[in-house]
Amino acid sequence: MQYRTLGRTGIKVSPYALGTLMFATSMGNDPRDSVRIIRKALDAGVNVIDTADAYGDSEEVVGKALEGRRDDVVLATKFGRPTGQDPNRQGASRRWIVTAVEHSLRRLRTDHIDLYQLHRPDPGTDIEETLAALTDLLHSGKVRAIGASGTPASDIVDAQWVAQRRGLARFHTEQPVYSILNRGIEREVLPTTQRFGMGTLVWGPLGQGLLTGRVRRDHNDLKRAGMVRHLSDERRLDVVETLVPLAAEAGLPMTHLAMAFAITHPGVTCALLGARTEQHLDDLLAGVDVTLSDDVLDRIDEIVPPGTDVGVLDQAFQPPALADPGLRRRPLAARAAA
């Protein structure tokens, strides 16, 4: 496996990282099976494990799996998404960060986190407040690098400028969604992370299961079984039907085509695998050395133009100006007066 450097941190990471959302017991996995999958990935050369405090008991499962192997792993986790009903048990305030990191360290059974990431932007907290708290964690040794996830390009720039002006640590990484179906980050996010020398760990390279080749337009049984939650967007299925013969012509399984595409972009450091079973992991790892030809990449560009998204990903971050209608409309009284 050819290792890459995570931005300017000097940390060497595998091109595939293991995402652990599926290892929460609430997702239906037996923790013992999850531990075996994690250790199998490590044996194969994957050295990045990515989890989050909002993934149920995933951090605890990861902590168990890493017993005796902690020093061989670049351990990443995230904070910021709700972890309970208390409105203060979420977000990017100093108050929550210093509490959340202690909880994660305990669950992960470690004294430090290699990459600590803000799970989603928190418009209600000044970015200086967040960076100041994370800088203190870096100085304490509890955290070795810091990053964010799902951040718009303008906010990435703002965070970098604030860090420079205030003498604070800057975000070392960004974790956006990226796949053949979701190429929007090629327009601004990836050029921005490249400009600032940031590492980029992309999630969703298999398009939430659509790019596995197992979900087709005529597979109504899969829809009824609820195996994929987002099949209502017919445009995404149309693209899949076009990609299937392309993968066949290239002599590749769809999963290998999709994963190879994700790690081909020079702005991408590594792509997160979401393997639920050992069989899924074996299939994905078999394609780690696949390289796509320029002809295949050109064909993909024709199907999904660079910098565009096909449909809307249900887990994508929505800025407040888009999510809250009230921020796009003057009050009725003001409109009436006008």
Q: Is 167 helix (H, G, I), strand (E, B) or coil?
A: coil
Are 49 and 18 in contact, with CB atoms under 8 Å apart? yes
Distances 102 to 52, 94, 112, 122, 143 between C-alpha atoms, Å: 13, 13, 10, 20, 11
Q: Give the residue ranges of DSSP H helices in 13-126.
A: 31-43, 58-65, 94-108
Spell out a b/e string for 173-202, using b for 16 or more CB atoms within 10 Å of the CB, else e: bbbbbbbbbbbbbbeebbebbeebebbbbb
- Does 55 participate in catalysis according to the annotation? yes
In eight-state DSSP terms, residue 275 is -
Say which of 16, 55, 116, 178 is annotated catalytic.
55
Contacts by 294-299 with C-beta closer than 8 Å and gap 24+? Answer: 296/246, 296/250, 296/257, 297/261, 297/264, 299/246
Report the C-alpha gap between 113 and 138 in whole angstroms: 10
Q: Smallest Cα–Cα separation from 239: which of 317, 305, 314, 316?
A: 305
Q: Smallest Cα–Cα separation from 83: which of 65, 59, 61?
A: 59
Residue 245 corresponds to which tokens in the numbers above? 């013969």
Dihedral sign computed on CA atoms, order 251, 255, 258, 261: negative
Residues marked active site are found at 55
